[in-house]
């Protein structure tokens, strides 16, 4: 049964490869649905891997959290049950402390700034942090800029957040971020957000335009304020157990294809952000674009004080800020 399934899925996903010839199939988890930039980028990586291995190596992408919500998928990847996982840095924060500084609110000036930092030596240092947890980073993807949305009212200033309840990713950094903004954080998996807004368990959540769009959250939370408090990296990681089973030659093929999938992801991402903003606006979402970010940035002082605690971490923040 297992063989049949692999055979069929390989044949479907890997256009142009000899169906059924897959000797090794890496199963990759993603919380996003088919068509989302990260899902498409890993599929493209699968095509490259297949082409370059003469059809021996395959990647089978499981979108839409079919292998579990992000935190569970990460755990299963650590145990080698799943081979690869693509996830935001958020659910890695508590596990891999090296991901925390680049997850701080307003640490990056723009997506371009984040890409420069993550493509350079700082990205390499952070990637090393995953290794102690049986994970190997294959690529850094992007999570664009995350902003608040809610079902109650347009957020025009930081004062409007007072006392409101927002879902955050399961990371202490974001619980502290919400406290610093005077709001309440409810950490929960992505898949629970839609119904939690709908039933009033929370007032809203925060995310980038493609996620706000494809999750359907815009249907139940019509007010979106582009305060862009988080510009977050994302990781495509492979289980050390799966990695160690590959021959050096296959490791090279997988590593290179992951690298080559980054520009694919970025191009798809930039187009999707524009498309999603237009789509939700057409559906009746009120987007507040003209927002003074300065009070939001200033409010983050206590969060930085809590996480940037050593001379090394202060130096890391300085190096990030100095990256042009």
Residue 83 within binding range of ligand GTR, rule CB under 6 A: no
Looking at the Cβ atoms of 31 and 77, the one nearer to ligand GTR is: 31
Ranges assigned E (strand) in the chain: 24-30, 57-62, 84-88, 135-150, 165-168, 184-187, 204-207, 223-239, 286-288
Applying CB under 6 A, does 88 fall inside the site for ligand GTR? Answer: yes
d(CA 49, CA 31): 22
Output the smallest distance, CB 144 to ligand GTR, in A.
Answer: 7
**Where is 277: in which H helix or E strand?**
helix 248-282
Closest CB to ligand GTR among residues 50, 93: 93
Task: Please provide the DSSP assignment of 156-212 as one string.
Answer: -SGGGGTT-EEEE-S-HHHHHHHHHTT-EEEE--GGGHHHHHHTTSSSEEEE-HHHH
- Would you tell me how many other CB atoms lie within 10 Å of the CB of residue 54? 11
Nearest to 34 by CA among 258, 301, 318, 268: 268
Element holding 22 (H helix, E strand): none
Choosing from 96, 101, 107, 169, the residue that interacts with ligand GTR (CB under 6 A) is 169
Residues 15-44 that bind ligand GTR (CB under 6 A): 31
Q: Where in 133-152 is the site for ligand GTR (CB under 6 A)?
A: 143
Q: How far is the CB of 82 from ligand GTR (least distance, A)?
A: 15
Stretch of residues binding ligand GTR (CB under 6 A), selected from 49-57, 85-93, 153-161, 195-203: 85-93
Q: How far is the CB of 293 from ligand GTR (least distance, A)?
A: 19
The footprint of ligand GTR on residues 288-317 (CB under 6 A) is none
Binding site for ligand GTR (CB under 6 A): 31, 70, 87-88, 90, 143, 169, 190, 207-208, 211, 234
């Amino acid at each position: 049964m297992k063989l049949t399934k692999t055979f069929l899925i390989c044949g479907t996903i890997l256009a142009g490869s000899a169906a059924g010839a897959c000797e090794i199939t890496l199963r990759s988890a993603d919380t996003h649905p088919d068509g989302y930039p990260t899902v498409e980028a890993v599929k493209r990586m699968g095509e490259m891997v297949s082409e370059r291995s003469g059809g021996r190596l395959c990647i089978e992408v499981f979108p839409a959290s079919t292998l579990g919500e992000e935190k569970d998928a990460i755990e299963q990847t650590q145990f080698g049950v799943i081979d690869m996982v693509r996830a935001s840095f958020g659910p890695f924060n508590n596990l891999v402390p090296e991901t925390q500084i680049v997850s701080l609110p307003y640490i990056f000036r723009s997506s371009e700034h984040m890409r420069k930092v993550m493509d350079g030596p700082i990205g390499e240092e952070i990637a090393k942090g995953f290794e102690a947890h049986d994970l190997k980073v294959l690529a850094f993807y992007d999570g664009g800029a995350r902003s608040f949305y809610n079902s109650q009212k347009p957020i025009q200033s930081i004062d409007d957040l007072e006392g409101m309840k927002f879902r955050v990713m399961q990371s202490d950094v974001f619980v502290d971020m919400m406290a610093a903004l005077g709001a309440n954080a409810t950490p929960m998996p992505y898949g629970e957000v839609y119904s939690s807004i709908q039933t009033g368990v929370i007032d809203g959540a925060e995310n980038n335009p493609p996620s706000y769009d494809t999750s359907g959250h815009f249907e139940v939370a019509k007010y979106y304020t582009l305060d862009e408090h988080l510009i977050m990296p994302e990781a495509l990681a492979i289980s050390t157990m799966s990695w160690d089973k590959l021959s050096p030659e296959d490791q090279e093929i997988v590593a290179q294809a992951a690298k080559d999938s980054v520009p694919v992801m970025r191009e798809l991402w930039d187009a999707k952000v524009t498309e999603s903003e237009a789509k939700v606006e057409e559906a009746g979402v009120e987007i507040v674009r003209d927002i003074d970010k300065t009070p939001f940035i200033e409010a983050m002082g206590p969060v930085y004080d809590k996480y940037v605690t050593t001379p090394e971490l202060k130096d890391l923040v300085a190096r990030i800020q100095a990256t042009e």
